[in-house]
Amino acid sequence: MMKESVWRAPRLSLRFWPVFLRNLLVWRKLAIPSLVGNIAEPLMWLVAFGYGMGALVGQITVAGPLGPVQVPYILFLASGSICMSAMQAASFEALYSAFSRMHVQKTWDGIMNAPVGLDDIVLAEMLWAAFKALFTVTAILGVMLALGISHSPKLLVAWPVLLGVGITFSCIALIFNALATGYDFFTYYFTLFLTPMMFLSGVFFPLEQLPLAVRVVADWLPLSNAVQLVRPLFMDQWPADVARHALVLVGYTVVAFWVALALTRKRFRM
Amino acid sequence: MKAVRATPLPRSLGHNSGMEAPILSVQHLRKRYGDATVVDNVSFDIAPGECLGVIGPNGAGKTTTIRMCLGHTVPDGGSITAFGRPMPQDALAIKAQLGVVSQMDTLDPDFSCAENLLVYGRYFGMKDAAIRARIPQLLEFAALTHKADAKPGELSGGMKRRLSLARALVNDPRLLLLDEPTTGLDPQARHLMWERLQLLLQQGKSILLTTHFMDEAERLCSRLLVLDHGKKIAEGKPRDLIAQHLEPDVVEVFGVGAMALVDSPLRSLAARLEVSGETVFFYTHDASALMLGLAAHPQLRTLHRPANLEDLFLKLTGRQIREDA
């Protein structure tokens, strides 16, 4: 019998839904403590840096569609850090939590004894991590609105964009989930990949501060494209080069999901 | 999503004569990992209502065979047909009618027993109302009614295995695949598990069971498959296999001086003799002369018993410890 290639096309179906529901049901039991964990840290960063550094930095100049605009540092930081929060929430869920279900608890093995394929389980985990990111982002947006950092009506558009950011980063994280031998492995992903990306994506300071060679790389990072889509929306403006940024994110998403699926199939020898 | 199958639990089809088409048919199955052939030309059928036991030392290929039957491992050769459908091509349709208890429990630690059943039923596309209607019966079957709201972490090993069995029954499967369902259980829990499995056989379910316990195999299985090094080395009804391969009586002798018997005249009273550790096993068609002879050695301890599956198993697969055991 010919073994099919692990790179074959994804076989996705609605059978992913009960798996997604399973994760939702577990999370509902732990939602309140998880909410505190998910939003407390990003908010501490925002308040400490935004107000503390903001007092030193004052206004910051950002390129807008109608020329450079002066914005308060806290607005600059808030619009970048919310993308970072979406990235971290999705990554954390698709690494530590998905790995627990896949490897430690063997939840996936149990599910695969029922008529649910591995592809649908990976899809469910991907969407679940994106949902967690959306949940975190929504909570932080609520606090930002309450603090009056931005009242832009275009935040309604930022919301689905941030869901997309969650999807992109959960797909990327699932690649590393498929390769992991233990939790320690994820430390590399966070310290060698996500942390440098935070500093190269215009979250804390404008990309114009970076040397040109670094900026060329930065322009292709998923987080910097996300920030460039979301930041103008916080300032009640439409982002420039929407198609380019969206395509970069979609490209990362499709490629990462395919790779994650292939490596997960390889891991399960399917 | 369509509900794949959701009929009520109690059904009495009675025992089947085995004349119908097999519910599971495995033909010339082969699996290689690198240079090692872990399953080598294995064929067997399971008739409706039958319990087939697969026994063999660790590494004999039992779990790999089960994994291939589930479509989790792709065979290198041979075919698997379940309910008339090919595996792995129709894996999802086949699994809709299967119940699986794997070697390791995969229960959800965050859910209560009842929630474990509910969530698992959803994977079969069953409606919540249909699953909820079955949960009391399933919990009762698993003797876990009083633990409906307890999480797996609060259950004993036997309770966890029974919850796994109840979970495997949520879709009212026609065939159960049980990979060492009683390993690690105490005798009470094991007997309760046996009782439940016998009940399922009476209801007309078919079972494929792997086990290391020969009393379990003898008690539950209508037919046995003995695997070693990936090959089928024997197949048949437990009693027939024993009669076919062994003398009916066994006398075990141990104690100081037992080894001297190996070269004593008593040896001629046995059809066959085996030594394992400090114990001498005499296999014989009539033990009376041997027992009389042994009476002259009161310092030795003797055990006279009928030959059993364990003897068969050890004869076929050898007494030496396997490297991977």
Average pLDDT over residues A6-22: 95
In CATH, what number is assigned to the domain containing residue B197? 3.40.50.300
Q: Is the separation of the CB atoms in B44 and B210 below 8 Å?
A: no
A26 interaction partners in chain B (CB closer than 8 Å): 108, 110-111
Q: Give the minimum alpha-carbon distance from B297 to chain A in angstroms, rounded to a whole number.
A: 56
Backbone angles phi, psi at A249, to 5 degrees: -65, -45
Residue B154 and residue B284 in one domain: no
Buried b (16+ CB within 10 A) or exposed e, B150-175: ebbeebeebbbbbbbbbbbbbbbbbb
Q: How far is A25 from chain B (nearest CA, A)?
A: 9
Question: Is the pLDDT reported for residue B6 higher than 50?
Answer: no
Spatial neighbors of A254 by CB under 8 A, at least 6 apart, are: none
Mean of the pLDDT values across residues A6-15? 94
Which residues in chain B are closer than 8 Å to A3, comparing Cβ atoms? 74
Co-location of B45 and B74 in the same domain: yes
Tokens of A112: 């695969």
Same domain, B217 and B269: no
Residues from B in contact with A at Cβ < 8 Å: 1, 4, 70, 72-78, 91-93, 95-96, 98, 100, 102, 104, 106-111, 115, 119-120, 122-125, 168, 171
Total number of domains in chain A: 1
The three-point CA angle B186-B189-B191 to 5° equals 105
Residue from the list B93, B95, B108 with its beta carbon closest to the beta carbon of A113: B95
The parent domain of residue B202 ranges over 24-241
Give the number of other CB atoms < 10 A from CB of residue B137.
Answer: 15
Are B56 and B194 found together in one domain?
A: yes
Helices marked H in A93-153? 98-99, 107-112, 118-147
What was the ipTM of the complex prediction?
0.91
Nearest to A111 among B92, B93, B123 (CB): B123
Q: Residues A102-123: pLDDT tens digits?
A: 999 999 999 999 999 999 999 9
Find the closest chain B residue to A111 by CA distance. B123
> What residues of chain B lie within 8 A of the CB of A4, using their CB?
74
What is residue A175's predicted lDDT score, i.e. its pLDDT? 97
10 Å Cβ neighbour count for B141? Answer: 19
Q: Please tell me the distance in Å from B166's CA to the nearest CA on chain A.
A: 13
Q: Do B111 and A270 touch (CB under 8 A)?
A: no
Q: Do B92 and A4 touch (CB under 8 A)?
A: no
What confidence tens digit (pLDDT) does each residue in A129-178 have?
999 999 999 999 988 998 889 999 999 999 999 999 999 999 999 999 99
What percentage of chain A has pLDDT greater than the value 70?
98
Question: Residue B264 maps to which CATH number?
Answer: 3.30.70
- The answer to whether residues A262 and A7 touch, using CB atoms and an 8 Å cutoff, is yes
Across the interface, do B92 and A115 touch by the CB < 8 Å criterion?
yes
Q: Spell out which residues of chain B touch residue A17, defining contact as CB-CB under 8 Å.
A: 1
For B80, B148, B152, the CA distances from B69, given in Å and listed in that order, are 7, 32, 28
Residues B206 and B297 in one domain: no
Name the amino acid, one letter, at B253: V
Whether A107 sits inside 8 A of B106 (CB atoms) is yes
Considering only alpha carbons, which residue of chain B is nearest residue A104?
Answer: B106
- How many separate domains does chain B show? 2
Please answer yes or no on whether A22 and B115 come within 8 Å at the CB atom: no
The string of pLDDT tens digits covering residues B118-166 is 999 999 999 999 999 999 999 999 999 999 999 999 999 999 999 999 9
pLDDT tens digits, one per residue of B207-249: 999 999 998 999 999 999 999 999 999 999 999 999 999 999 9
Closest CA to B289 of B305, B269, B273, B272: B269
CA distance B289 to chain A (A): 55
Angle between helical axes of A118-147 and A17-47 (0-180°, round to 10): 30
- Please report the DSSP string for A242-260 in residue order: HHHHHHHHHHHHHHHHHHH
Percent of chain B residues past pLDDT 90, beyond the cut: 69
CA geometry: angle A86, A124, B113, nearest 5 deg: 110
Separation in Å, CA of B270 to nearest CA in chain A: 49
Please give the Cα distance from B6 to B193 (Å, whole number). 24
Q: At what angle do helices A73-92 and A17-47 cross, to 10 degrees?
A: 150
**Residue A7, domain member (yes or no):** no
CB–CB contact B72 A15 (8 Å):
no
Contact assessment for residue A221 and residue A48, using Cβ atoms and an 8 Å cutoff: no
- Shortest CA distance to B194 belongs to which of B225, B226, B218? B218
Residues B76 and B202 in one domain: yes
| Shared-domain flag, residues B98 and B134 | yes
Is residue A10 over pLDDT 90? yes
Angstrom distance (rounded) from CA A85 to CA A92: 10
Neighbours of A133 (CB within 10 A): 30
Question: A22 to chain B, minimum CA–CA distance in Å?
Answer: 6
Would the CB atoms of A115 and B124 count as touching at under 8 Å? Answer: yes
Residue B313 is assigned to a structural domain of this protein: no
Residue pair B182/B161 in contact by the 8 Å Cβ criterion: yes
Q: Using an 8 Å Cβ cutoff, are B29 and B78 in contact?
A: yes
pLDDT-derived band at B12 (thresholds 50, 70, 90) equals: very low
The answer to whether the Cβ–Cβ distance between A1 and B77 falls below 8 Å is yes
| pLDDT number for residue A3 | 67
Q: Do B74 and A26 touch (CB under 8 A)?
A: no
Rg of chain B over Cα atoms, rounded to whole angstroms, equals 23
Q: Is residue B19 part of a domain?
A: no
B290-296 LR contacts (CB < 8 Å, sep 24+): B290/B251, B290/B266, B291/B251, B293/B265, B293/B266, B293/B269, B294/B251, B294/B253, B294/B266
| CA-based nearest residue in chain A for residue B122 | A18
**pLDDT score of B324:** 56
Q: Are residues B190 and B115 in the same domain?
A: yes
pLDDT at residue number B9: 44
Lowest-confidence pick of A36-40, B66-70, B189-193: A36-40
In a domain, A210, yes or no: yes
In this structure, what DSSP letter does residue A52 have?
Answer: I
Residue contact A114–B74, C-beta within 8 A: no
State mean pLDDT over B108-127.
97
Q: In Å, how far is B13's CA from the nearest CA of chain A?
A: 24
Tell me which residue range forms the domain holding A233: 15-267
Residues B270 and B199 in one domain: no
Residue A34 CA from chain centroid, whole number:
17
Domain boundary among B241, B260, B294: B241
- The minimum CA-CA distance between B112 and chain A, rounded to whole Å, is 11
Give the amino acid at B325. A
Residues of chain A in contact with residue B119, where contact means CB-CB under 8 angstroms, are 18, 21-22, 25
Could you give the count of Cα atoms lying within 13 Å of B49 in the half-sphere of its Cβ? 14
Which of B74, B95, B98 faces A1 most closely, judged by CB atoms? B74
**Helices and strands in chain A, H and E counts:** 12, 2
Residue type at position A134:
L
> Which residue in the set A4, A15, A105 is minimally distant from B109, CB to CB?
A105
My answer on whether B195 and B134 are in the same domain is: yes
Instruction: Mark B58-78 as b/e (b = at least 16 C-beta within 10 Å).
Output: ebbbbbbbbbbbbbbbbbbeb
Q: Both B155 and B170 in a single domain?
A: yes
Residue A186: phi and psi, rounded to 5, are -70, -20
